[in-house]
Amino acid sequence: SLPTIYAITPTYSRAVQKAELTRLANTFRQVPRFHWIVVEDSNMRTELVSRFLARSGVPYTHLHVLTPRRYKRAGLPRATEQRNAGIGWLRQHRSPRDFGIVFFADDDNTYSLELFEEMRSTRKVSVWPVGLVGGRRYERPLVDKGRVVGWYTGWRADRPFAIDMAGFSVNLQVILANPKAVFKRRGSQPGMQESDFLKQITKVEELEPKARSCTKVLVWHTRTEKVNLGNETKHHQDTIQIEV
């Protein structure tokens, strides 16, 4: 039978959060054998996300961990603690008997359904192109005779794995077999999270190229424009309260 796809999504409270999660749920709901691990960057599970997930129609686990304030600065990597909470949950609640694939699904990206078909066959670590990232239309692993031999990227080509968080998946067994593999804060610059993590669990030569030898873009690193709330008033003026 199909292995379960575990998508780990860090998310934080902001004006567009429910819209982003709605877009994700509309995609994930259509993926067979899917388990959504949503990790809120907060000191509790919020009402908004709890209610949302309960009605989403997607099998899920709802976690939370607050990013320490000292790490909430421009130029520092985001969602390190949340991704680690997600893989920590898998290590506690899943065993070598469970067949699964782990994927890091940020809440603002755009995912095709075909992407999940591609990652489903991940034996150790799969890779594929990501659109709209690295200051280019796309980045992709360069493939020769079925092996990854380099990276097409416009940004820091010296990265050992020049790939975005949305560009790879990991077999659950690899996550369980490497209990110390985590996303690191110390010494990790933004954009190096992926390389730092992948270095701990695999080698470039072992990567499994997906999406027609890494020639198809099935996921986009979209980013949502900051909302204009310039006409909000200091005190609520409507006669009712509405969750947005």
- Give the interface with Mn ion as residue ranges (CB under 5 A): 106, 108
Could you tell me if 243 and 131 are in contact, meaning their C-beta atoms sit under 8 angstroms apart? no
Q: Which of residues 107-126 bind ligand UDP (CB under 6 A)?
A: 107-108
Q: How far is the CB of 8 from ligand UDP (least distance, A)?
A: 9
87, two tokens: 């893989």
15, two tokens: 């004006």
Q: Which residue is nearest to Mn ion (CB)?
A: 108
* Contacts with 34 (C-beta within 8 Å, 6 or more apart), sequence order: 4, 5, 7, 28, 58, 59, 116
Among 6, 8, 12, 166, binds ligand UDP (CB under 6 A): 12
229, two tokens: 């709330």
Q: Does 169 bind ligand UDP (CB under 6 A)?
A: no
Q: Establish whether 194 is a catalytic residue.
A: yes
Q: Does 82 bind ligand UDP (CB under 6 A)?
A: yes
168 vs 173, which CB is nearer to ligand UDP?
A: 168
* Contacts with 74 (C-beta within 8 Å, 6 or more apart), sequence order: none
Q: Which of 194, 205, 208, 243 is catalytic?
A: 194
Q: Does 11 bind ligand UDP (CB under 6 A)?
A: yes
Q: Does 51 bind ligand UDP (CB under 6 A)?
A: no
Q: Does 194 bind ligand UDP (CB under 6 A)?
A: no
Could you tell me if 142 and 149 are in contact, meaning their C-beta atoms sit under 8 angstroms apart? yes
Could you tell me if 131 and 220 are in contact, meaning their C-beta atoms sit under 8 angstroms apart? yes
23 vs 173, which CB is nearer to ligand UDP?
A: 23
Catalytic sites, residue numbers: 194
